[in-house]
């Protein structure tokens, strides 16, 4: 098959899963995301597909396929991927079996059962595999079996660092296939091509060239890509798709790299950060200080708008007495420098912290591509039309107006006193 297989990304966020699947050879023909700002970021990065800013529970499969058709694609979908909101399964806080967010996985089942793709990927937090959630997980598998799908057993928790990411990040991955197609297996990290998979094998490899650029405070002005080093192991971060992202479509980009926005620290904090040993936590803030030749700790999203809108604790740079910037976090998450995020620290870090690591998503997508008899050498790589970069700075009200949805679909941010 020389045409790109078609994938839909549910609960897409900014597009970490979408990016990895496109890098594997898929076209992302539609995404569904309830957050208006995250939807804008996905739309900016994947302008060729249909971006649907809507509650999935209110979306019919017919509407979804009609949106795909309106973008010029066919209705035969090869893959549906998605990660329903995970807070109800998280081991970080109190787990609630009856958390209404947990029911979103069955909306995912509904969409898959109605559209009937050949394969599906569901990503979530490891907490979903705990004993407390076994009845829910068993019901999930049973429903898929009733709809003509098999789920690969045993369900596995994968660590992205084993697939080449410079970050310890464990995620539960559920893989399924229609009964009439070739069965899947989890990608084997023990036989990965070193040149492709281990390009981000340490924190230093991922972000060292960014260390020479002072972070911006308050406003991001962009950095000329000529000031960064994209040779050898860093070529996959280049401002045009290369390395592990070589199969991605060509985006219209300038020579500027964005996201080098950081926080202003007090002199006291700076001294404490400088005194902290790499690989250890700073004693007052409990921020983890990165070890240059080690892996990043798991980057997290922080709290939602109705819980104070706090960014999650960000790691301290291994060499500089400051927390990492948005672009450094993106690199540690394996996003290339051409991929764009919201221009504010809060939204930018939430997008990265919520995202699937693209490199892991690529390995998952490649496993499926190998079962679809796709000729990767003949896949078309398009030059995409530019999108207005002003979208990357929209506030919630502007984003909601763009999508013509209620601006309070995500509760308003509470002001901290």
**Which residues are the active-site residues?**
86
Tokens 């904090």 belong to which residue? 269
136 sits in which H/E element: helix 134-146
Are 352 and 326 spatial neighbours (Cβ–Cβ below 8 Å)?
Answer: yes
- Helices 358-369 & 16-24 angle (0-180, nearest 10): 40
Determine how many CB atoms are found less than 10 A away from the CB of residue 57: 12
- Cβ-proximal residues to 352 (8 Å cutoff; 6+ apart), any chain: 14, 299, 301, 326, 329, 330, 333, 335, 341
Structure tokens at 346: 């809060």
Q: What is the DSSP string of 192-241?
A: --HHHHSTT-SHHHHHGGGGGSPPEESS---EEGGGS--SGGGGGGSSS-
Tokens 């994938």 belong to which residue? 7
Return the beta strands (E) in 90-222 as ranges. 119-124, 149-151, 156-159, 170-178, 216-217
Secondary structure letter of residue 255 according to DSSP: S
- Between CA 372 and CA 5 the distance in angstroms is 8
Q: C-alpha distances in angstroms, 155 versus 96, 118, 185?
A: 21, 19, 10
Long-range contacts of 262-266 (CB under 8 A, 24+ apart): 262/215, 262/216, 262/217, 262/322, 262/323, 262/324, 262/325, 262/345, 263/217, 263/314, 263/322, 263/323, 263/345, 264/217, 265/321, 265/322, 265/323
27 sits in which H/E element: strand 27-32
Are 305 and 277 spatial neighbours (Cβ–Cβ below 8 Å)?
Answer: no
Tell me which residue of 292, 282, 337, 277 sits closest to 313, measured CA to CA: 282
- Between CA 314 and CA 311 the distance in angstroms is 8
């Amino acid at each position: 098959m020389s045409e790109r297989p078609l994938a839909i990304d549910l609960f897409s966020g900014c597009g970490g899963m979408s990016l990895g699947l496109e890098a594997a050879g898929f076209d992302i023909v539609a995404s569904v995301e309830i957050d208006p700002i995250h939807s804008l970021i996905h739309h900016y990065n994947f302008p060729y597909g249909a971006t649907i800013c809507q509650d999935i529970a209110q979306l019919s499969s017919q509407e979804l396929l009609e949106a795909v058709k309106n973008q010029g694609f066919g209705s035969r979908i090869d893959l549906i991927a998605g990660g329903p909101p995970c807070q109800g399964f998280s081991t970080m806080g109190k787990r609630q079996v009856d958390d209404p967010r947990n029911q979103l996985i069955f909306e995912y089942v509904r969409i898959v059962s109605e559209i009937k793709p050949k394969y599906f990927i569901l990503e979530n937090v490891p907490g979903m595999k705990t004993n407390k959630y076994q009845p829910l997980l068993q019901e999930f598998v049973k429903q898929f079996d009733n709809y003509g799908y098999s789920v690969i057993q045993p369900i596995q928790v994968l660590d992205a660092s084993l697939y080449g990411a410079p970050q310890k990040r464990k995620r539960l991955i559920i893989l399924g296939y229609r009964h009439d197609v070739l069965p899947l297996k989890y990608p084997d990290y023990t036989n990965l091509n070193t040149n492709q998979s281990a390009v981000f094998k340490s924190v230093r490899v991922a972000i060292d060239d960014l260390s020479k650029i002072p972070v911006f405070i308050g406003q991001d002005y962009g950095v000329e890509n000529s000031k960064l080093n994209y040779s050898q192991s860093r070529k996959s971060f280049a401002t045009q798709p290369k390395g592990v992202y070589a199969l991605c479509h060509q985006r219209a980009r300038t020579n500027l790299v964005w996201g080098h926005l950081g926080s202003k620290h007090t002199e006291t904090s700076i001294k404490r950060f400088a005194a902290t040993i790499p690989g250890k936590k700073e004693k007052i803030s409990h921020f983890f200080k990165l070890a240059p030749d080690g892996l990043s700790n798991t980057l997290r999203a922080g709290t939602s708008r109705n819980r104070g809108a706090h960014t999650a604790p960000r790691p301290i740079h291994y060499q500089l007495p400051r927390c990492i910037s948005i672009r450094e976090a993106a690199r540690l998450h394996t996003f290339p420098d051409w991929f764009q995020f919201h221009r504010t620290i809060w939204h930018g870090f939430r997008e990265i912290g919520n995202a699937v690591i693209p490199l892991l998503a690529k390995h998952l997508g490649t496993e499926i591509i190998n079962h679809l008899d796709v000729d990767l050498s003949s896949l078309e790589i398009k030059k995409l039309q530019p999108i207005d970069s002003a979208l990357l700075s929209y506030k919630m009200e502007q984003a909601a107006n763009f999508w013509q949805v209620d601006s309070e679909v995500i509760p308003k941010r509470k002001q901290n006193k």
